[in-house]
């Protein structure tokens, strides 16, 4: 299940997992974010060794600011608190390739 993080504390807890974390920075008003959302569910089923979390940039603007998120959707691939790759935009193929590379 793609987990929607609702607090900064929960976000920091989620990053403690000892596997790849795919963070989807999105906004409820963002059309491309809505388009790619079903792909995240597919990717979660395919890449069972990764965790998928969503961060609403309007609700957690402090987290979005900390990672300098300016465009939605933006995906950060994080492992051991290190950003391995950033994918900006609703490009499912590019995102899938990035996940496959780091998972």
List, for residues 38-90, the tens digit of each pLDDT value. Answer: 999 999 999 999 999 999 999 999 999 999 999 999 999 999 989 999 999 99
- Taken in order 86, 92, 93, 96, is the CA torsion positive or negative? positive
Per-residue confidence (pLDDT) for residue 17, from 0 to 100: 87
Per-residue confidence (pLDDT) for residue 42, from 0 to 100: 97
CATH superfamily entry for domain 3-102: Glutaredoxin (3.40.30.10)
- Domain positions in the chain: 3-102
User: Would you say residue 1 has pLDDT above 80?
Assistant: no
Per-residue confidence (pLDDT) for residue 8, from 0 to 100: 95
List, for residues 3-29, the tens digit of each pLDDT value. Answer: 899 999 999 999 998 899 999 999 999
Which residues form the catalytic set?
30, 33
Per-residue b/e over 63-75, b at no fewer than 16 CB within 10 Å?
bbeebebeebbbb
């Amino acid at each position: 299940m793609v987990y929607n993080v609702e607090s900064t504390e929960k976000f920091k807890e989620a990053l403690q997992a000892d596997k790849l974390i795919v963070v989807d920075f999105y906004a409820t008003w963002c059309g491309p974010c809505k388009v790619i959302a079903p792909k995240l569910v597919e990717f979660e089923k395919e890449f069972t060794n990764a965790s998928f979390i969503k961060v609403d940039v309007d609700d957690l603007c402090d987290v979005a600011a900390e990672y300098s998120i300016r465009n939605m959707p933006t995906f950060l691939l994080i492992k051991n608190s290190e950003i391995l790759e950033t994918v900006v935009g609703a490009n499912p193929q590019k995102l899938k390739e990035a996940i496959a590379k780091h998972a």
